[in-house]
Amino acid sequence: MENSPAPSLLEARGISKSFGAVRALQEVDFTLRAGEIHALLGENGAGKSTLIKAITGVFPRDAGVIRISGEEVAPRSAKAALQAGIATVYQEVNLLPNLSVAQNLFLDRQPMRLGIVREAEMRRRAKALLGGFGLDIDVSAPLGSYSVAVQHVTAIARAVDLSARVLILDEPTASLDRHEVEILFDIMRQLAGRGIGIVFVSHFLDQVYEISDCITVLRNGRLVGQRETASLPRLELIRMMLGRELAETTSVRAATGEHQAREVCASFEGYGKAGYVAPFNLELRHGEVVGLAGLLGSGRTETARLVFGAERADRGQAKVEGEPVRLLSPRDGVRHGFGYCPEERKTDGIVAELTVRENIVLALQAKRGLHRPLSRREQDEIASRYVKMLDIRPPDPERPVGLLSGGNQQKVLLARWLATSPRLLVLDEPTRGIDVGAHAEIIRLIRELCDDGLALLVISSELDEIVTYSDRVVVLRDRAHVDELTGEAIDISNILAAIAADSAVVAHEGRA
Amino acid sequence: MTALLPRRGLAQILALIVILAVDRVVSPQFFDLRLQDGRLFGSLIDVLNRGTPVALLSLGMVLVIATRGIDLSVGAVMAISGAIAASLADSHGLPVVLAAALGAGLVCGLWNGFLVSVLGMQPIVATLILMVAGRGIAQLITEGRIVTFSSPDLVWLGNGSILGVPVPVAIALGMLILTGAVVRGSALGLLIEATGGNARASELAGVGTRAMILAVYVWCGVCAALAGVIAAADIMGADANNAGLWLELDAILAVVIGGTSLFGGRFSLVLAVLGALIIQTMNTGILLSGYPPEFNLLVKAVVVLAVLLLQSPKLSGFSGVVARLRRAKA
């Protein structure tokens, strides 16, 4: 059955990888042909970087086969991958900024004579090499003195000169301006013309459509599909990235009209921060779930951080129960009865070394202040109450929270905020990286909390999830709130349309 | 409340017992105590007395390290407060002398805390500034001379005794109890451990991490100043060049021997002080053995290595690790 039109250069079959109980990659296939620019897409946590790292041997894979030009390879380190012909350029360029451009290009393989590096020869060759990429710079200056774009090109030139046949570019355009992106794209096309296969990871869909021949979409560690870019409409692509199945799930909370009667818990008028998220109006009511939908980088997390006070707004007015308030720090948010479960549980949420009990009482203790410590008995009571209520496993309040599974860590974070009897909870991707069982439980919890009169603001990349629990859905695009859906209008296709419709306009304007 | 000596202190207690036993072999009179002029004398008392400055330093240092910081300036702060105390001792009463010296420590702590928590400098760099500058300040105060004094009040602080116990030892014990009461009696202990364990997460949970970090550096400065006053009182003079020299390293060592990680988080005041005593027991033992003091450094290194290995979770079957696992399973 091996009769594909172009020979496959890199072929990965059935790649799986688990971190503890979390299955980061499940049976993912990926095929890259020679001379192809292949976009690898997916939301945060979809498994893009895990796939790259499994292919390049940064960490061992649990299962799967990798072939280069039909020959099986099993690189155990980035260096071994390079020898096999796979080079990776990361968003933060992994070269040495304090060395010169020439030294970076020829690191580990400097031209030598009698044990002495031939500096002039190295500079000459460096100049010639970069010249091939249309770059005429002083190669003896430190790499760090040049722009990120030049550093990227240097990294690419080094990789290509090391006879890489597969080039993986991980978010190369994230910190480049429009002109620099054009230069990079020219180089990518030139390299593809020479038969090099390029994997392009990006979340800028416009760029993906501009440069790529082929698109592979991952979601939740699984392959959603591999398609030709030309024959994949943008709406369909976003659906692949966000939607689970196209089951037309409508809001179970079809409470049209009813939410109008609910009391406003917190409101934000013209709230925003320059360069962070455009000013928005947002009303959060008691007993109501507001979902935030949008693609990665659309301003979902930014909105959540502004609302909680983790980031300071530079315009607009926030009100709590009708009273104007200033949210300058998380402390202010906590004082006004807000709680925030961040997306990055490990770095921003749990204190891994402390016990479940200590993690649960942390926010309540911070709210009460130093001089009103919770006695050990009070702490034990609170901890065991929430361990029971949220079914945290293992049910041992004295276990360091870092030893728990992702789902249970998330429950501990929820418990931390519930212990403060909040009026508003902001949940950023509450179900990310959580196994299926805990997933359903968390969603059930969100619904119950809402019925108890809490106001909830929930971010999720899982559209069917958002549709299930939201009373209202705010759609974001390019760091601005672009649409709001209520009641019956909440369904996956309307959300997708809101995301894509706007992007089409922007793409159109961009070309005009 | 946690017990006075937590279960995880087993390695430190074992180390202390072993070193004491070696000291007993080296010097048969090591455990002898005698009462003279209402004050206890003997090698053990000597260990406690000599260990006081480092014990005091480690009380402040352990809190700083628990927040994932470090304070290299405590030796220099000792020199400053000693210089101030010695300069004022013969012209002012003890309350004024103490207030001025401890006030200087407080200001030094505020400075360090400001650099670290408000300006966000790396603790090692921020406190290096005062480590270098502080000794210069102390020399300016003493005008480069060794300032001596004869104020009986201040001398009593270094050489007197209360109910037979040397005053410095009583002060160190008092400070341990005071610090313990403040830290574990309020929520400070938990919030410091949370801040050291994960500052970003703690901040997002509403913990005032900045104020917390400022506070621990201030307390560290005050403890160092007190150590400086006692050291000056002990020798009835202030030597800006040598007072507290390199003691910041002993204090850090004491904290590490006490099982507090330089990566912050969990800490134990009692074990940090125990660490200071381990260091001093070694120093005294080597002094008594008649070996040249240069051996001290080598022996210290070996003992530190041994204590750290005993604490290491990779060496299973030992001490606190096992106890903790058992508790977790129960």
Lowest mean pLDDT among A77-86, A88-97, A243-252, A338-347: A243-252
What CATH number did the domain enclosing B220 receive? Answer: 1.10.3470
DSSP label of B187: S
Could you give the CA distance from residue A176 to residue A147 in angstroms, rounded to a whole number? Answer: 9
**A147 compared with B311, residue with greater pLDDT:** A147
- Tally of domains within chain B: 1
- Put simply, the chain A residues between 259 and 278 with a CB less than 8 A from any chain B CB are none
pLDDT band, residue A507 (cuts 50/70/90): very low
Model confidence pLDDT, tens digit, residues B192-242:
999 999 999 999 999 999 999 999 999 999 999 999 999 999 999 999 999
State the pLDDT at residue B319.
44
Give the mean model confidence (pLDDT) for residues A103-107. Answer: 87
For residue A365, list chain B residues with Cβ-Cβ distance below 8 A.
Answer: 187, 190-191
State the pLDDT at residue A508.
39
Domain residue extents for chain A:
8-242, 247-337+423-512, 348-421
Residue A473 has pLDDT above 50, yes or no: yes
Facing residue for B194 by CB, picked from A362, A371, A396: A362
Residue A255 has pLDDT above 70, yes or no: no
| Alpha-carbon distances of B190 from A247, A364, A409, B196, B258, rounded to whole Å | 48, 12, 19, 10, 18
* B29 part of a folded domain: no
Q: In chain B, pLDDT over 70 holds for what percent of residues? A: 92
For residue A374, list chain B residues with Cβ-Cβ distance below 8 A.
Answer: 187
B187 interface with A at CB cutoff 8 Å: yes
pLDDT band, residue A258 (cuts 50/70/90): low
For residue B205, list chain A residues with Cβ-Cβ distance below 8 A.
Answer: 330, 334, 362-363, 366, 416
For residue B265, list chain A residues with Cβ-Cβ distance below 8 A.
Answer: 351, 353-354
Give the mean model confidence (pLDDT) for residues B89-105. Answer: 95
State the pLDDT at residue A298.
84
B66 interface with A at CB cutoff 8 Å: no
State the pLDDT at residue A335.
94
Lowest mean pLDDT among A192-196, A243-247, A302-306: A243-247
**B73 compared with A434, residue with greater pLDDT:** B73
- A362 contacts B205? CB cut-off 8 A: yes
CA of A38 to nearest chain B CA: how many angstroms apart?
Answer: 37
* B199 part of a folded domain: yes
Lowest mean pLDDT among A385-394, B201-210, B233-242, B295-304: B295-304
Kindly give the pairing relationship between strand A288-293 and strand A455-459. Answer: parallel
State the pLDDT at residue A84.
87
Q: Which residues contact A444 (CB under 8 A, 6 or more apart)?
A: none
Residue B315 has pLDDT above 80, yes or no: no
Q: What angle do CA A382, A387, A391 make, to 5 degrees?
A: 150
* B197 part of a folded domain: yes
Residue A348 has pLDDT above 70, yes or no: yes
- B186 contacts A373? CB cut-off 8 A: yes
| Alpha-carbon distances of A105 from A70, A78, A82, A154, rounded to whole Å | 29, 17, 14, 7
Could you give the CA distance from residue A247 to residue A227 in angstroms, rounded to a whole number? Answer: 22
DSSP label of B164: B
- B187 contacts A351? CB cut-off 8 A: no
Model confidence pLDDT, tens digit, residues B35-79:
888 888 888 999 999 999 999 999 999 999 999 999 999 999 999
For residue A350, list chain B residues with Cβ-Cβ distance below 8 A.
Answer: 198, 201
Residue A45 has pLDDT above 80, yes or no: no
**A261 compared with A317, residue with greater pLDDT:** A317
**Residue with tokens 């709680």, as numbered in its chain:** A339
Give the mean model confidence (pLDDT) for residues A93-98. Answer: 80
* B327 part of a folded domain: no
* B21 part of a folded domain: no
Model confidence pLDDT, tens digit, residues A155-167:
888 888 887 899 9
Output the pTM of the full model.
0.76
For residue B204, list chain A residues with Cβ-Cβ distance below 8 A.
Answer: 308, 310, 330, 340, 342, 348-349
The residue of chain A with its CA nearest to that of B195 is A351
* B19 part of a folded domain: no
Q: What angle do CA A457, A463, A465 make, to 5 degrees?
A: 65
State the pLDDT at residue A512.
32
pLDDT band, residue A261 (cuts 50/70/90): low
Interface test with B, best of A308, A351, A380, A409 (most B CBs within 10 A): A351
Q: In chain B, pLDDT over 90 holds for what percent of residues? A: 69
For residue A347, list chain B residues with Cβ-Cβ distance below 8 A.
Answer: 198, 200-201
Output the six-digit token pair for B192: 């410091």
The whole domain housing B182 covers: 52-317
A349 interface with B at CB cutoff 8 Å: yes
pLDDT band, residue A248 (cuts 50/70/90): very low
Could you give the CA distance from residue A342 to residue B148 in angstroms, rounded to a whole number? Answer: 59
State the pLDDT at residue A449.
87
Facing residue for B187 by CB, picked from A308, A373, A398: A373
The residue of chain B with its CA nearest to that of A365 is B187
- B206 contacts A330? CB cut-off 8 A: yes
What kind of fold does domain A247-337+423-512 have according to CATH?
A: Rossmann fold (3.40.50)
- B205 contacts A366? CB cut-off 8 A: yes
State the pLDDT at residue A431.
82
Model confidence pLDDT, tens digit, residues B154-165:
999 999 999 889
Mean pLDDT over the full length of chain A = 85
Dihedral angle over CA of A254, A260, A261, A265, nearest 10: 110
| Alpha-carbon distances of B31 from A282, A388, B13, B39, rounded to whole Å | 74, 54, 17, 16
- B198 contacts A351? CB cut-off 8 A: yes
* B17 part of a folded domain: no
Lowest mean pLDDT among A248-262, A319-333, A463-477: A248-262
Give the mean model confidence (pLDDT) for residues A199-215. Answer: 89
- Put simply, the chain A residues between 303 and 342 with a CB less than 8 A from any chain B CB are 308, 310, 329-331, 333-335, 340, 342
* B219 part of a folded domain: yes
B3 interface with A at CB cutoff 8 Å: no
What kind of fold does domain A8-242 have according to CATH?
A: Rossmann fold (3.40.50)
pLDDT band, residue A253 (cuts 50/70/90): low
pLDDT band, residue B324 (cuts 50/70/90): low
pLDDT band, residue A427 (cuts 50/70/90): very high
User: Cis before residue A324, ω within 30 degrees of 0?
Assistant: no
Model confidence pLDDT, tens digit, residues A359-373:
999 999 999 998 899
